[in-house]
């Protein structure tokens, strides 16, 4: 009896990723993979490329895209669809799921002559609400992890074919991706992988179902040498084709000739590693310890279906910055949907689709929330959409509400050039300060969070296993590497938000006390904080291309100093394009350096990547201290320190009641 190998690969690069990274991915993975597979037309397989990546590859590597088109025409390749810009479908409204899926299906049909019947689910995030959206766009089946089925009570022995589910009367078929296959391909020797497939055939398995990231073939650490230079992919393909027990099929062909295994209803989940990453750090550590204990006791495989962890949406509760970005995106989606049909252009829809790209909304081993350029791409597209909506159907100039459902009221201040949001959480600080002219959010930073994997930092000096032992290679999940030196304290979590205008009081002993008891005064549109013998009032006002913050202090027991902290996101970060410019035109340093000036009334933050600058002016001289704000995170390449923002502290003595005004002026490049 033979077994069907359903072999699928998924290719994606985040919206806004650096061109050099995409080029490298294509040179070391996508292009190499296609050139090998082209030599074996009888090896049939399925592919999914996100639409944004396809657009880039057609522009930069047309010959390889022509090669892929030819492989499609000869019946070797089946195309899977999904959302065009790789959103987590469960995290966006039904109307946007439909437009995202339809956009990519149209693109694939136009360029490759095939309209997808199958779809890739981003990060294999399953919620039953996506069924109606997928079916409405012509999708008949998707691939999710076998773990999803185990959590539904299915036996692992039955997970060798597809099942059916439904929602609101719509049927969708589900293929269980084999975790055992994902962990073997391409990490175990090719001969062993082929022998494993043949053993499944002898035991009567109908299909071996594989669908995983193509980046594992060349981009993950050690895989380029292993897969291409040492010939793993060629050996595997030739071994499969030479076997009398294995036949390759596309998902479409298998689906057309086989019957469903039966009905199944999957719980809300993703792959088990994601269910760990989405938990808060202490709980993630406990969950990981539980899994390791179950493995050590030999009970893990039996108990795995009951080890659930969290769900993908928990990232919105873990990271306030992701939640704010997500809720702002949903608000823009509602506004776009409310426009008359003739005003909802393809261009505006594309801005929304790009703002829904999944990568910057979460963080695991590969998630991109920690990468400023990915968050910036979300905000850039979101603010392009906001700028267009400002002309078509502007929002109220001032508005209040709990926009991100966190229990705190946000006050929105808007004009045609600037949108600013103040959160009433005791700090009365800006959580967003966006320039529509520059399509940039200066508040797009990230506080330092505790992460469960920070516990591995002490392994920096521990010996690591030598690569290339001849017995396969290690998965990126199992490696501990360091791109930067991480010192004690570098990974300490922040105790307060990384917002703009986060205030503190400094007493005569130079002790800092957070000013976190502001309360709003509805009659005067200001926030006030007070203590014994002192009162401080704070107000915000927009004026064309500027935002003015006014501090008024009064009382007979005022502090020695008032200090306000501005955490400002700037595209150049520590690169050459970012620099401080003083009023006399001199440049005292770049954003990646520390800066201390005792008496200052004006400074400009100039950024060539921004194509503009931000000027800070004060009505009374201040002491300025500037330093880079960095976080410690982990990627597939190792631990790294990433600059998230410029942290600027402005301090002044209130004396007997100094009235301080601080103006942030946005200056586009001329």
Query: How many Cβ atoms from other residues are within 10 Å of residue 205's Cβ?
Result: 19
Q: Work out whether strand 440-441 and strand 500-506 pair parallel, antiparallel, or are unpaired.
A: unpaired
d(CA 456, CA 452): 8
CATH assignment at residue 201? 3.20.110.20
Look at phi and psi of residue 461 and say left if phi exceeds 0, alpha if psi is from -120 to 50, else beta. Answer: alpha
Rounded to an integer, what distance in angstroms lies between the CA atom of residue 193 and that of residue 181? 8
Q: Contact, 161 vs 207, CB < 8 A? A: yes
Q: What is the dihedral of CA 347, 353, 354, 360, to 10 degrees?
A: 160
Q: Residues in the chain with pLDDT < 70?
A: 366-367, 460-480, 482-484, 656-657
Tokens of 302: 């039996």
Instruction: For residue 44, give the 3-state DSSP assignment.
Output: coil
Report the 10 Å Cβ neighbour count for 218. 25
Environment class of 59 (CB within 10 Å of its CB; exposed 0-12, middle 13-18, buried 19+): exposed
- Asked if 5 and 247 count as a contact pair (C-beta separation under 8 A), the reply is yes
543 within a domain of the structure (yes/no): yes
Q: Are 304 and 287 in contact (CB under 8 A)?
A: no
With left for phi above 0 and alpha for psi between -120 and 50, is residue 384 left, alpha or beta? alpha
Position 50 in a domain: yes
**Cβ proximity of 436 and 429 under 8 Å:** no
pLDDT at 270: 94
Closest CA relative to residue 266, chosen from 173, 348, 343: 173
State whether residue 520 is helix, strand or coil. Answer: strand
Instruction: List residues with catalytic annotation.
Output: 123, 213
Q: What secondary structure, in 3-state letters, does 340-409 show?
A: CHHHCCHHHHHHHHHHCCCHHHCCCCCCCCCCHHHHHHHHHHHHHHHHHHHHHCCCCCEEEECCCCCCCC
116 within 8 A of 80, measured Cβ to Cβ: yes
The two structure tokens encoding residue 595: 């800066």
Domain stops at, among 239, 270, 301 = 270
**Which domain CATH number covers 451?**
2.70.98.10
The partner residues of 514 in beta bridges, in order of sequence, read 504
Q: Which residues, including other chains, have CB under 8 Å from residue 426's CB and lie 6 or more apart?
A: 516, 517, 518, 519
Question: For residue 174, what are the CA distances in angstroms to 120, 259, 269?
Answer: 11, 12, 14
Q: CA 612: distance to chain centroid?
A: 26
Number of domains in the chain: 2
Closest by CA position to 168, among listed 135, 137, 205: 135
Separation CA 650–CA 618 (nearest Å): 9
569 part of a folded domain:
yes
In a domain, 19, yes or no: yes
Nearest to 419 by CA among 332, 538, 349: 332
CA-CA distance, 185 to 234, in Å (whole number)?
Answer: 13
Q: Model's pTM, two decimal places?
A: 0.94
> Are 232 and 84 members of one domain?
yes
Q: 315-336 burial by CB neighbour count: b if 16+ within 10 A, else e?
A: bbebbbbbbbbbbbbbebbebb
DSSP 113-140: S---SEEEPGGG-B-TTHHHHHHHTT--
Q: Is residue 541 part of a domain?
A: yes
The answer to whether residues 13 and 359 touch, using CB atoms and an 8 Å cutoff, is no
The range of the structural domain enclosing residue 55 comes to 3-270
Length of the chain: 670
Question: What SS3 class is residue 26?
Answer: helix
Q: Are residues 413 and 266 in the same domain?
A: no
Q: How many angstroms separate the Cα of 239 from the Cα of each of 181, 197, 202, 217, 234? A: 16, 10, 16, 17, 8
Q: What pLDDT score does 469 carry?
A: 43
Task: Report the alpha-carbon distance of residue 58 to residue 60 in Å, rounded.
Answer: 6
Q: What pLDDT does 620 receive? A: 94
Q: Is the peptide bond before 186 cis (omega within 30 degrees of 0)?
A: yes
| Per-residue pLDDT at 670 | 80
- Tokens encoding 634: 């982990």
For residue 74, the tally of other CB atoms under 10 A from its CB is 10
State residue 466's pLDDT score.
41
**62-73 and 31-38 helices, crossing angle to 10°:** 40
Could you give the 3-state DSSP secondary structure of residue 500? strand
Cβ neighbors of 653 (< 8 A, separation 6 or more) are 560, 561, 562
84 falls within a domain: yes
CA distance linking residue 623 with residue 183, whole number of Å: 56
Q: Is residue 365 part of a domain?
A: no
* Furthest CA-CA distance within the chain: 92
Please indicate, yes or no, if residue 276 is contained in any of the structural domains. no
- Count Cβ atoms within 10 A of the Cβ of residue 498 and give its class: 0-12 exposed, 13-18 middle, 19 or more buried: buried
Reported as half-sphere exposure (CB side, CA atoms, 13 A), residue 472 has a value of: 14
How many C-beta atoms lie closer than 10 Å to residue 349's C-beta?
Answer: 18
* Final residue belonging to a domain, choices 202, 235, 270: 270
* Domain's final residue, options 219, 246, 270: 270
Q: How far apart are CA 270 and CA 144, in angstroms?
A: 8
Burial of residue 263 (CB within 10 Å: 0-12, 13-18, 19+) is exposed
* Contact (Cβ atoms closer than 8 angstroms) between residue 282 and residue 288: no
């Amino acid at each position: 009896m033979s077994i069907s190998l359903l072999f699928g690969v998924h290719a994606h690069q985040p919206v806004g990723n650096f061109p050099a990274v995409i080029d490298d991915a294509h040179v070391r993975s996508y292009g190499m993979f296609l050139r090998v597979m082209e030599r074996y037309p009888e090896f049939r397989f399925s592919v999914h490329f996100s639409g944004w990546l396809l657009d880039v590859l057609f522009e930069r590597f047309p010959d390889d895209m022509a090669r892929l088109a030819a492989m499609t025409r000869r019946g070797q390749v089946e195309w899977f669809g999904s959302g065009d810009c790789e959103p987590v479908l469960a995290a966006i409204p039904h109307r946007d799921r439909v437009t995202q899926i339809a956009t990519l299906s149209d693109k694939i049909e136009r360029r490759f002559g095939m309209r997808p019947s199958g779809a890739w689910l981003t990060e294999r995030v399953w919620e039953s609400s996506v069924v109606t959206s997928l079916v409405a766009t012509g999708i008949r089946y998707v691939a999710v992890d076998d773990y999803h089925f185990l959590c539904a009570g299915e036996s692992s022995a039955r997970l060798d074919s597809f099942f059916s589910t439904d929602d609101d009367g719509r049927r969708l078929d589900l293929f269980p991706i084999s975790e055992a296959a994902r962990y073997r391909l391409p990490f175990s020797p090719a001969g062993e992988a082929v022998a494993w497939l043949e053993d499944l055939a002898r035991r009567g398995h109908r299909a071996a179902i594989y669908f995983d990231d193509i980046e594992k073939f060349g981009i993950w650490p050690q895989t380029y040498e292993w897969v291409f230079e040492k010939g793993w992919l060629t050996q595997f393909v030739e071994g499969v084709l030479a076997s009398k027990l294995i036949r390759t099929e596309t998902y479409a062909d298998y689906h057309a000739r086989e019957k469903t295994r039966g009905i199944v209803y999957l719980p809300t989940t993703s792959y088990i590693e994601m269910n760990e990453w989405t938990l808060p750090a202490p709980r993630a550590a406990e969950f990981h310890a539980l899994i390791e204990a179950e493995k050590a006791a030999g009970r893990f495989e039996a108990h795995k279906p009951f080890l659930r962890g969290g769900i993908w949406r928990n990232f919105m509760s873990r990271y306030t910055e992701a939640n704010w970005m997500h809720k702002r995106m949903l608000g823009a989606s509602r506004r776009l949907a409310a426009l008359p049909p003739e005003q909802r252009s393809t261009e505006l829809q594309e801005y929304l689709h790009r703002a829904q790209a999944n990568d910057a909304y979460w963080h695991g081993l590969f998630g991109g929330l920690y990468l400023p350029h990915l968050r910036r791409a979300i905000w850039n597209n979101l603010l392009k959409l906001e700028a267009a909506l400002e002309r078509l159907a502007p929002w109220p100039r001032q508005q209040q509400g709990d926009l991100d459902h966190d229990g705190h009221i946000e006050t929105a201040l808007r004009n045609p050039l600037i949108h600013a949001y103040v959160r009433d959480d005791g700090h009365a600080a800006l959580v967003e300060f966006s320039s529509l002219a520059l399509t940039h959010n200066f508040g797009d930073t990230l506080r330092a969070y505790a992460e469960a994997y920070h516990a591995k930092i002490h392994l920096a000096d521990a010996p690591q296993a030598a690569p290339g032992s001849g017995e396969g290679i290690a998965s990126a999940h199992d490696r501990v590497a360091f791109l930067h030196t991480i010192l004690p304290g570098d990974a300490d979590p922040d105790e307060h938000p990384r917002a703009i205008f986060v205030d503190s009081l400094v007493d005569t002993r130079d002790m800092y006390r957070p000013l976190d008891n502001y309360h709003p005064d509805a009659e005067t549109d200001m926030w006030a904080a007070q203590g014994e013998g002192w009162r401080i009032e704070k107000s915000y006002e927009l004026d064309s291309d500027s935002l003015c913050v006014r501090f008024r202090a009064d009382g007979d027991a005022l502090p020695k100093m008032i200090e306000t902290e501005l955490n400002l996101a700037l595209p150049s970060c520590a690169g050459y394009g970012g620099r401080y410019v003083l009023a006399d035109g001199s440049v005292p340093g770049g954003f990646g350096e520390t800066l201390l000036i005792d008496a200052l009334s004006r400074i400009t933050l100039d950024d060539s990547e921004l194509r503009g600058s931000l000027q800070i002016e004060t009505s009374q001289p201040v002491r300025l201290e500037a330093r880079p704000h960095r976080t410690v995170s982990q990627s597939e390449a190792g631990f790294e320190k990433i600059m998230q923002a410029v942290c600027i502290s402005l301090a002044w003595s209130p004396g007997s009641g100094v009235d301080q005004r601080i103006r942030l002026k946005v200056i586009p490049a001329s």
